[in-house]
Amino acid sequence: MKFLKKTDSLIYSLIKKEDKRQNETLMMIPSENIASYAVEEAVGSSLGNKYAEGYPHKRYYQGQSNVDQVEDLAIERAKKLFKVPHANVQPYSGSPANLAVYNALMMPGETLMGLSLAFGGHLTHGAPASATSKYYKSVQYQLGKDGLINFNDLRKLAKKAKPKVIIAGFTAYPRVIRWKKFAEIADEVGAYVLADVSHIAGLIVTGVYPSPVPYVHVVMTTTHKTLRGPRGAMIMVTQKGLKKDPDLATKIDKSVFPGLQGGPHINTIAGIAVALKEDSTKRFRSYAKQVVKNAKVLAEELKKNDFNLIAGGTDSHLILIDLRNKNILGNTAAEACEAAGIVLNRNGVPFDPNPPFYPSGIRFGTPGITSRGMKEQEMKKIARLISKVVEVTRKTKEKLDITFEQEKKKEIRRKIVQQALVLKKIRKEVLELCRRFPLKKVY
Ligand SMILES: Cc1ncc(COP(=O)(O)O)c(C=O)c1O
């Protein structure tokens, strides 16, 4: 980065610090991953200079000979990898992509049915704070007490609400999603099913997680999570979707551009094409298998240490833990883990008695640490370290006699973390682990 260093030493030094932070901590936020240098190079290339409003071979500007080929390649690779007849690779990210799907399938005021944010749905699945619940009538479903989707309840709600679109695919759901069940209910009420596979796309294309493609009408995915590409998204239409509405592909394309977006980010689209090429290799399949294997080992080890795993474990890359039996808030656990070099996020749990800003749980996953080459042995060690962090944090909180109300204050949590001296020792162990598995960007 010699040019950046000379032009803007401040931004240069912040990027260098971020490189160091990523290298010296465990990236365990399940929506994050480490894209390859090849992806980074495509995203940082001259393609970012080009305006290309429209679609390949139907643009509104001149000078498209190269970018048309880039977008064609990305589309072809997406279609082949996901086994779908149509793909749109232009959405800027997952949130606008979901809105583009709704805009294609519904008129304002029509009904959308998604999993509530508090139970693991995404904001854009109709959460009250999201524009998606202002433009559309949002009906939200919940999980059962067992942390799983209750299809009897879902059917009852769908029959009553008569949604135009049902969303399956979530942000914090560790188990396999039964796509066929969603399809049956949607067919009964005449709704479209959108599978939002943002979190699990990399597991789906490698066959380590069931694909929704035979059952749903539209599939949306971000490209920067388990697919390990740049920040972006894709919308795909299935055969079943085209059967329900032969114009569906055209409607989706028109909704993305000119419906919601202007010029596509061709540099990102090139990065997506590169990632999709990487994703189609045997090596990536082994990676995806290891992601799930690692998550399962981590889950089993944590259960041995009396952690309460939502839905009893995981079939994917992510784990959601209810910390109420550990007597600390998700905030405190996440901040203590960060002090120890384990970066994860606080999260609500089903039927959480606490508000979303002070939730009872934590959520973490294995895509990032598996990209570094970590395997079962390291998962056992990480489970031990997370258990230790939670234990010393709880003990320190109890020793300081801090109530839940007090724990909501940032300065109080800071005091707990500072006084839990063992965290410094754990930080050293994490650093040693990170040094044994340096961040790998070479695919
Ligand atoms: C299931 C799901 N859908 C959509 C999104 C939105 O993606 P983005 O953050 O790229 O807008 C996310 C992001 O976390 C997600 O988990």
Q: Is 196 a catalytic residue?
A: yes
Contacts with 43 (C-beta within 8 Å, 6 or more apart), sequence order: 230, 267, 268, 270, 271
Taking residues 82-89, report their average pLDDT.
98
Sequence ranges of the domains in the chain:
50-279, 290-436
Catalytic-role residue among 124, 171, 221, 222? 222
Helix axis angle for 330-339 and 376-399, nearest 10°, is 120
- Between CA 30 and CA 43 the distance in angstroms is 22
Q: Is 225 a catalytic residue?
A: yes
Q: pTM above 0.85?
A: yes
Query: Comparing C-alpha atoms, which of 267, 331, 230 is closest to residue 47?
Result: 267
Q: What is the pLDDT of residues 399-411, one digit of tens each?
A: 999 999 999 999 9
Catalytic-role residue among 196, 278, 322, 352? 196
pLDDT above 80: residue 211: yes
Cα→Cα distances 46→41, 53, 265, 270, Å:
10, 17, 11, 11
Q: What is the pLDDT of residues 386-442, one digit of tens each?
A: 999 999 999 999 999 999 999 999 999 999 999 999 999 999 999 999 999 999 888
Fold topology of 50-279: Aspartate Aminotransferase; domain 2 (3.40.640)
94 ligand 1 Cβ < 6 A: yes
Pocket test for ligand 1, best of 203, 222, 225 (most atoms within 8 A of CB): 222
Task: Give the Å distance between the CA of 11 and the centre of ligand 1.
Answer: 27
122 ligand 1 Cβ < 6 A: yes
317 ligand 1 Cβ < 6 A: no
First to last CA, the chain: 20
The CATH architecture of the domain made up of 290-436 is Alpha-Beta Complex (3.90)
Query: Comparing C-alpha atoms, which of 434, 401, 412 is closest to residue 336?
Result: 412
Mean pLDDT, the chain, as a whole number? Answer: 97
Taking residues 253-278, report their average pLDDT.
98
Q: Is 247 a catalytic residue?
A: no
